[in-house]
Amino acid sequence: MTTRSANGAVRRRAALAGLGGAALALAMASPSAHARGPSVRSESLSVSLKPKHLNLVVAQTGESFSDVFADGERYHDDGLARLNRLLRDFRTGEIKPIDPALFDLLARVQSQIGQPLRVLSGYRSWQTNHMLHLAGFDVAENSLHIAAKAVDFTVAGIAVSALGEIARQCGAGGIGLYRSGFIHIDTGPVRNWTGD
């Protein structure tokens, strides 16, 4: 599977040539271009093209992603699409675009850990979240999983408390440490809690 779209190559060439944002947008406006991924601070394109990598395995489906999903501030469309599908509501099959900042956060966490993150929950539909809440799981009714801004995961051999400290250093918003052995992180406001 390709990791870099044709757009990515155009962007890279344009950025290397020192083109500004407007010229870059024109360069990307060719009819054959795929849809662009969200752009973050595009003015810094020529400054940082460092690839961002993630290595995720989803516990319930066995599906995984080990690839580059962005060059610097420019996300790869195909990488985001694969990650959005990976972190879908596996109970309903529903896919919702995940906040790309969550992937950035996960990449920072992973760079401190250097091994796969085992994902237990990414996006959750309102129905799935409500069902889990009614079933007695420690699930907030207005969970940021519903907004596709949260992920729960474990890492083999690393205590949840240690993961919490790493997540804090990496700029996580919400950090929930669960006694059953996983951590929740999200891109919402800074909060800390423990759960069952």
Task: Say whether residue 184 binds Zn ion (CB under 5 A).
Answer: yes
Task: Give me the least distance between CB of 124 and Zn ion, in Å please.
Answer: 8
- Rounded to a whole number of angstroms, the minimum distance from the CB of residue 138 to Zn ion is 9
- Can you give the three-state secondary structure of the chain, one letter per residue? CCCCCHHHHHHHHHHHCCCCHHHHHHHCCCCCCCCCCCECCHHHCCCCCCEEEEEEEECCCCCEEEEEEEECCEECHHHHHHHHHHCCCCCCCCCCCCCHHHHHHHHHHHHHHCCCEEEEECCCCHHHHHHHHHCCCCCCCCCCCCCCCEEEEECCCCCHHHHHHHHHHCCCCEEEEECCCEEEEECCCCEEEEEC
d(CA 163, CA 61): 23
State yes or no: residue 152 binds Zn ion (CB under 5 A): yes
Regarding 89 and contact with Zn ion (CB under 5 A), the answer is: no
- Which residue has its beta carbon closest to Zn ion? 184
| Region near Zn ion per CB under 5 A, out of 16-24, 74-82, 125-133, 181-189 | 181-189
| Cβ at position 2, least distance to Zn ion in Å | 31
Contact present, 177 and 160 (Cβ < 8 Å): yes
Q: To the nearest whole angstrom, how small is the minimum distance from the Cβ of residue 121 to Zn ion?
A: 6
User: C-beta of 81: minimal distance to Zn ion in Å?
Assistant: 23
Stretch that binds Zn ion, among 33-41, 59-67, 146-154, 167-175 (CB under 5 A): 146-154
- Of 150 and 170, the one with the shorter C-beta distance to Zn ion is 150
CB of 116 or CB of 188, closer to Zn ion: 188
Identify the CA nearest to 108 among candidates 164, 171, 41.
171
Pick the closer one to Zn ion by CB: 47 or 159: 159
Q: Does 124 bind Zn ion (CB under 5 A)?
A: no
> Which positions touch Zn ion (CB under 5 A)?
150, 152, 184
